[in-house]
Chains A and B, each alone.
Chain A
């Protein structure tokens, strides 16, 4: 348990967050990172080839 607690402390997120502001738009860096990760995941899902593609081709 102590090991897990010390492991969690490696990335402390309870300190005050950072925010990006542009005119009236304001977003936390954490939220921005999540949104960027979601966009990257979406693009990868679109562009990455389907798994087992080669196997299916060979079977044809």
Chain B
């Protein structure tokens, strides 16, 4: 029988020297106590990020014109969420692909969002005792798509001169049908906080599905500006950052790195490409012990000799 050759990365020669006692429980306990004490001290000294939650109410009060403009984009279907594609809606060509793999399309529309209906019409319909608004909503529902488009175009054209006077959205739009009343009433609803509640979807006792208010907020310029200020956008390596001066998720550096360079930062399927790249790299890391050459790196770097330098010094003496 042929003797198997020694493989330096996999095989280890049997140890024939002496042994020293080693208490791993003691070491683990010391490490745990040290980390616990450090955590407590740092929590007391630095605290933790405590940004106030941004709601539709805070947004519409801070920047009512941005709110009204975003509401219009939801109504005329030009907002990001209106044309996002899966999982919110069926927008041709919007889904991300990985070569021939149409990942988002395969997942399909799991959380159906019709931005005009979900963000504008339905919340307005939920307002009680609003005879004028009810009449305008009936006019909207009865109108043809062409008429609605004419109203929306007229309103959008005039919206560049939109003003807020005594809390009301004032716009000099002619031939805009019920749109001015709808946008103004939605703005009032938002500023009172009622829209936040109307947008939260509840499937049970607890109302914890914030998908709709978050999507609505994400369509705004207001949220984008706040994110920019705090260095949280994708172009600013935002995945790694935390609000304020707190350290963030530095370990996500590689994930966010890809978003800064081509083709990832210019592709419409950037997320899918980054996901695939990180998947391949994670597999490489997982299978390091089985990859010839890569598995030899620690042996060739010889950092272990630095850690166990005393042992190797003694061996050399012998």
A5 to B45 Cα, complex, angstroms? 9
| Chain A interface mostly | mixed
Which residues on A sit within 8 Å (CB–CB) of B49? 13-14
* Contact status A46-B241, CB under 8 Å: no
Query: Least Cβ distance of B243 to chain A in Å?
Result: 8
Q: Is A2 part of the binding interface, using a Cβ–Cβ cutoff of 8 Å? A: no
* Contact status A35-B45, CB under 8 Å: no
Q: Is A33 part of the binding interface, using a Cβ–Cβ cutoff of 8 Å? A: yes
* Contact status B245-A7, CB under 8 Å: no
Which residues on A sit within 8 Å (CB–CB) of B205? none
| Chain B interface mostly | loop
* Contact status A13-B231, CB under 8 Å: no
Number of A-B residue pairs having CB atoms within 8 Å of each other in the complex: 78
Interface residues of A in 17-31 (CB under 8 A from B): 17-19, 24-31
Evaluate whether A16 and B244 lie within 8 angstroms (CB atoms) in the complex, with A11-B45, A26-B236, A46-B303 already known. yes
Which residues on A sit within 8 Å (CB–CB) of B260? 24-25
What is the size category of the interface that chain A forms with chain B?
A: 20 to 34
Give how many B residues have a beta carbon under 8 Å from the other chain's beta carbons.
29
* Contact status A17-B250, CB under 8 Å: no
* Contact status A15-B244, CB under 8 Å: yes
Write 21 A-B pairs (CB below 8 A) sorted by A numbering: A7-B44, A8-B45, A8-B47, A11-B46, A13-B49, A13-B245, A14-B243, A16-B230, A16-B244, A16-B245, A17-B242, A19-B231, A26-B236, A27-B240, A28-B231, A28-B240, A28-B241, A28-B242, A30-B246, A34-B247, A56-B20
| Contacts A18-B245, A28-B242 known; 4 new A-B pairs at CB < 8 A | A8-B44, A16-B229, A27-B240, A34-B247
A-to-B contact residues, CB < 8 Å: 4, 7-8, 10-11, 13-19, 24-31, 33-35, 46-47, 49-50, 53, 56
The 10 A-B pairs with the shortest beta carbon distances in the complex, nearest first, are: A30-B247, A17-B245, A14-B244, A13-B245, A34-B247, A8-B47, A31-B250, A24-B260, A26-B237, A13-B246
